[in-house]
Amino acid sequence: GEDVEQSLFLSVREGDSSVINCTYTDSSSTYLYWYKQEPGAGLQLLTYIFSNMDMKQDQRLTVLLNKKDKHLSLRIADTQTGDSAIYFCAESRMDSSYKLIFGSGTRLLVRP
Partner 1 sequence: KAGVTQTPRYLIKTRGQQVTLSCSPISGHRSVSWYQQTPGQGLQFLFEYFSETQRNKGNFPGRFSGRQFSNSRSEMNVSTLELGDSALYLCASSLDRVPDTQYFGPGTRLTVL
Between residue 9 and residue 68, which ones bind partner 1 under the rule CB under 8 A? 30-31, 33, 35, 41-45, 48
Contact pattern from residue 69 through residue 98 relative to partner 1, giving x for each residue in contact according to CB under 8 A and a dash for the rest: -------------------x-x-x----xx
Length of the chain: 112
Residue 46: which of 80, 83, 18 has the closest Cα?
Answer: 83
In the list 72, 84, 105, 108, the residue contacting partner 1 (rule: CB under 8 A) is: 105
Count interface residues toward partner 1 (CB under 8 A): 22
Helix, coil or strand: residue 94: helix
Phi, psi of 81 (to 5 degrees): -60, -30
Pick between residue 27 and residue 44 the one whose CB is nearest to partner 1.
44
Residue 90: which of 26, 32, 42 has the closest Cα?
Answer: 32
Do the bridges between strand 100-102 and strand 85-92 make them parallel or antiparallel, or are there none, so unpaired?
A: antiparallel
**Residues found near partner 1 in the complex (CB under 8 A):** 30-31, 33, 35, 41-45, 48, 88, 90, 92, 97-105
